[in-house]
Amino acid sequence: MIEKRPFGRTGHDSTVTLFGGAAFMNGATQAQADATLDVLLKYGINHIDTAPRYGDSELRIGPWMREHRNHFFLATKTGQRDYQSARDEIRRSLDRQQVDHVDLLQLHSMAHPDDWDQVFGAQGALEAVVEAREEGLTRFIGIAGHSWTIAAMHKRSLEQFDFDSVLMPLNFLMADNERYRKSFEAVVAMCKQRNVAVQTIKSIARGPWGITEKNRDTWYQPFEEQADIDRAIHWVMGRGDVFINTAGDRDLLPKILDAANRFEQRPDDEVMRELLAERSVTPIFGIAT
pLDDT tens string 116-143: 999 999 999 999 999 999 999 999 999 9
For range 71-82, the mean pLDDT: 98
On whether residue 287 sits in a domain, the answer given is: no
What is the structure's pLDDT at 123? 98
The 3 state secondary structure assigned to the chain is CCCEEECCCCCCEEECEEEEHHHHCCCCCHHHHHHHHHHHHHHCCCEEECCCCCCCHHHHHHHHHHHHHHHCEEEEEECCCEHHHHHHHHHHHHHHHCCCCEEEEEECCCCCHHHHHHHHCCCEHHHHHHHHHHCCCEEEEEEECCCCCHHHHHHHHHHHCCCCEEEEECCHHHHCCHHHHHHHHHHHHHHHHHCCEEEEECCCEEECCCCCCCCCCCCCEECCCHHHHHHHHHHHHCCCCCEEECCCCCCCHHHHHHHHHCCCCCCCHHHHHHHHHHCCCCCCCCCCC
What is the structure's pLDDT at 213? 83
Tell me the residue range of the domain where 133 lies: 4-278
On whether residue 288 sits in a domain, the answer given is: no
Per the structure, how many domains does the chain have?
1
On whether residue 285 sits in a domain, the answer given is: no
CATH code at position 96: 3.20.20.100
For range 190-199, the mean pLDDT: 98
On whether residue 201 sits in a domain, the answer given is: yes
Give the predicted TM-score (pTM) of the model: 0.97
On whether residue 252 sits in a domain, the answer given is: yes
Does residue 289 register a pLDDT over 60?
no
On whether residue 284 sits in a domain, the answer given is: no
On whether residue 271 sits in a domain, the answer given is: yes
On whether residue 283 sits in a domain, the answer given is: no
